[in-house]
Chain A
């Protein structure tokens, strides 16, 4: 397993970013945080992370989506693994493109979706799995 992988956590809720930072750092990941799309972009420019954990609804209901779609257009971030978080799965389900099945499909910029409150163990397992695939 690749150690010292860089993970960028983007959420406007500092309780979430702080908690995740502590938990992830305890696993020896390098954690960067951002509280909105703009900060996230800045952080991405500074240092390209191995994984991005991204909340969907921040200042606007789709800020996370917008950022993710943006990144898909950019060659350097096209393959960045994104784990999306949402507190409102029902809303995503209703307003997402087509059926819920699409969430993990081609049209979605993210490949994983986690519902908040987070199941920390599942999240850690998923991160391990992604990093394993990458190496």
Chain B
């Protein structure tokens, strides 16, 4: 799946990026200063040794190693987060929280190993409290403060009870192994509590304003992300609709996509009959089969449907009132609690109803309704487009079929007529005088022109009717060139026209159908020769452009006037100067060329000056499977 496209404004994205960067820097800062903690601990140990402490200071290095270890872990975590393109604020804070938790545990451990509450080191516990209060919000800050204090208190209690051996502070000349007395402990704990509370209060209050901003921003970011997702889905819905061909496909996409966009269980689309009296379930997604089966509802008998069609949306968060729902029982069985119905508007007319169904009660808010309206509009447009597309398609099909039929039916009598002409002209029925022969020749010629016209009409009709061309087929330019040479050499020689076809070596294949490619170039070359006066020149040149193959058909013929150029590719159009040369053209040749070039995803350009000549440039795509196809056949055992 593609990454969601971002619909946030540039400012919004900048703010998010800045916040993320700040959060990232804060994490980095924490990690950086933590590298100093083991050094600090080593310094404490060294001071202990320097002041003549007679116990072991090695225990302190356990804490140092612990801090070093987890800091290295966070360092890697931070690197990973930095490499992630989609790091979010909650994920960064997750990292910070873990750091605070481990810092607190380290400080409790350090305090214990250094004599507990009675140690002067115990005051270090305010450090993580201050840190946490600055980087997180006040609730976790107080939470961590309580956690540290509870830890210290527990250590003291365990020492008093004798469950934990007392650890001497390292600053005494003589190690003390007996636990302190209760009075001392209580006093120290009280001071500690007070200190911690003040520290937590002061720092949280001071950083509150800033934190509030961050939190507001987080909320904003969160909702922006959600909105972004919604828009992305809407966008992909539009894309999907755009690529759909028929009404069924559009309905399927529309229902499943809008269920995803609106995060609901089911979607239904009911369409209004032309007379507006009946509603038919056209499609449903995520609903029981009973919905999918074609059901027709009489609008007059359903007050609910009538109200919706009149333009009033309907929302309920508690589907129980069976009397207003046709499918109340089915809905209850499917555990659907909330439903929403919206009219599908198109150009001020209601064309149907969009329904959304959700398993949660009271799911649809006022805000949702606005969003649903947007979706409904989109759905209505999509449906109307699909309808229009289908109607046009049907019309085109009918037209093509009609043309094909007419052409077929015209050809049969023509064939009979030409056969009879053959018999008469062949003098099988008796000899003819010269004048009779001449008139029959003219009759034959006119009939053959008519036949040619019918044939070209058929080609055009067939091409219009044919579905997408086969994209996997390919055509070798060399083959096309050979055939063109063979077909036209003689005709060009008869008119004393120099005719050249050049193909560079290792030119890749065209994508598409040999017949179509051939027809394109045949029509163009045939025209070039026809409209070039004797002693002229006709050239066909194949070349390679970026991802196309170019065929240039140039001649030194009569050319095309500026006025005629725009009409060149229309059916039945024949230029004035072309008529003068060839009376019997059909005006379909270039229309066929254009049709085929379009079918093959190519393009055609024409450069011409009247009396000087014409160049047709045809670009056709290179075959996509060229190399792959060869590999396949070689790789197959």
Contact = CB atoms under 8 A, between A and B. Distances in A.
Nearest to A16: B419
B419 A117 contact: yes
A13 interface: yes
Contact of A23 (B418, B422, B451, B462): B422
Given A26-B428, A90-B462, A19 B411 contact: no
Contacts, number: 51
A107 interface: no
Interface in B416-434: 416-420, 422-423, 426, 428-429
B408 A118 contact: no
A62 interface: no
A15 B462 contact: no
Contact of B416 (A13, A88, A91): A13
B412 interface: yes
A120 interface: yes
A117 B415 contact: yes
- Among the interface residues B423, B426, B462, which one has the most CB atoms of the partner chain A within 10 A? B423
Contacts of A13: 412, 415-416
Interface residues of A, number: 17
Chain B interface helix/strand/loop/mixed: helix
Given A22-B423, A23-B423, A23-B426, A16 B411 contact: no
Interface string A98-118: 000000000000000000111
A124 to B, nearest CB: 10
B408 A116 contact: no
A15 B447 CA distance: 15
B426 A15 contact: no
B419 A20 contact: yes
Nearest to A120: B422
Interface string A7-39: 000000101101110110010000000000000
Contacts of A118: 415, 418-419, 422
Given A22-B428, A22-B429, A120-B426, A88 B411 contact: yes
A97 interface: no
Nearest to B447: A117
Contact of B428 (A23, A87, A88): A23
Given A26-B428, A90-B462, A117-B451, A19 B422 contact: yes
Contact of A87 (B408, B417, B420): B408
B597 interface: no
B422 A116 contact: no
A90 B411 CA distance: 12
Using C-beta atoms within 8 Å of the partner chain, give the interface range for chain B: 10 to 19
Interface string A33-51: 0000000000000000000
A116 B418 CA distance: 9
A18 B419 CA distance: 9
A127 to B, nearest CB: 15
A54 B418 CA distance: 18
Given A19-B423, A22-B423, A117-B451, A88 B417 contact: no
Contacts of B429: 22
Contacts of A91: 408
B136 interface: no
A79 to B, nearest CB: 28
B451 to A, nearest CB: 7
Contacts of A18: 420, 423
Nearest to A24: B428
Interface in B555-613: none
Contacts of A20: 419
B41 to A, nearest CB: 86
A122 to B, nearest CB: 12
B415 A16 contact: yes
Contacts of B458: 90
B408 A15 contact: no
Contact of B419 (A19, A26, A88, A90): A19
A87 B411 contact: yes
A91 B407 CA distance: 12
Given A22-B428, A120-B426, A87 B415 contact: yes
Interface in A68-90: 87-88, 90
Nearest to A93: B515
Contacts of B92: none
B408 A88 contact: yes
Given A22-B429, A23-B426, A120-B419, 12 more contacts: A13-B415, A15-B417, A15-B419, A16-B416, A23-B422, A26-B428, A90-B462, A91-B408, A116-B411, A117-B418, A118-B415, A120-B422
11 contacts: A15-B417, A16-B415, A16-B416, A18-B420, A19-B419, A19-B422, A23-B426, A87-B415, A91-B408, A117-B414, A120-B422
